[in-house]
Amino acid sequence: MAQNKLPSFFTDDFAASPMFQDLQREMNQLLQRFRHQPGTSTADWMNPASGRMMSALDVSESDEAFEITAEIPGVSEDDIEVSIIGDVLTLRGEKTIEREEKDKDFHLVERAQGSFRRQVSLGFVPEEGAVDAEFSDGVLTLTIAKPTEAKPRAQTIAIRKS
């Protein structure tokens, strides 16, 4: 039987109710199924052998621009695609890993391939030529200038004397 994991503020009579026991059982089954679903663990996303990779993103915003930094180690700039459709930035890439070991008694060749795709909603449509991209040592840095209408404007409000 499932353990009672309801918060302590429920009384024993309330928690013993068949309705809450059924709910607890269903939630435990749902979480158990999710835990064993392929592709739901962090290790699956970070392991290129799983066919999927997820690059780490840092997003910062100033009044003038967005700066997005993506860590994409082991991928060359030729294998990265950056595009913007409307207000959505998309980063795509593919990484191929090949390892070969030769020894007196064996010859080992391993290959793995993984791809990633990340999307970020900018909240504005950048103007043509307003994106600067730089790739160095496995880190992609994008600076996306905000159009004039997306920049915050300060207004001074006059106060009347009554």
Domain ranges of the chain: 1-37, 50-149
User: Strand 65-71 and strand 139-145: pairing?
Assistant: antiparallel
In a 3-state reduction of DSSP, which class is residue 15? helix
Measured in whole angstroms, how far is the alpha carbon of residue 80 from the centre of its chain?
A: 16
Do the Cβ atoms of 145 and 84 come closer than 8 Å?
Answer: no
The pair of three-digit structure tokens given for residue 24, joined into one six-digit string: 């607890």
Average pLDDT over residues 126-132: 92
Range of lowest pLDDT (21-30, 74-83, 132-141): 21-30
Q: Quote the CA–CA distance of 11 and 23 in Å, as a whole number.
A: 16
pLDDT > 90: percent of the chain: 22
pLDDT per residue over 22-75, tens digit each? 888 888 877 777 665 554 444 444 444 444 556 678 999 888 998 999 988 878
Better-predicted residue by pLDDT, 88 or 101: 88
Residue that is written with structure tokens 């791809």 in the block: 115
Better-predicted residue by pLDDT, 142 or 35: 142
Asked if pLDDT for residue 15 goes beyond 70, the answer is no
CATH of domain 50-149: 2.60.40.790
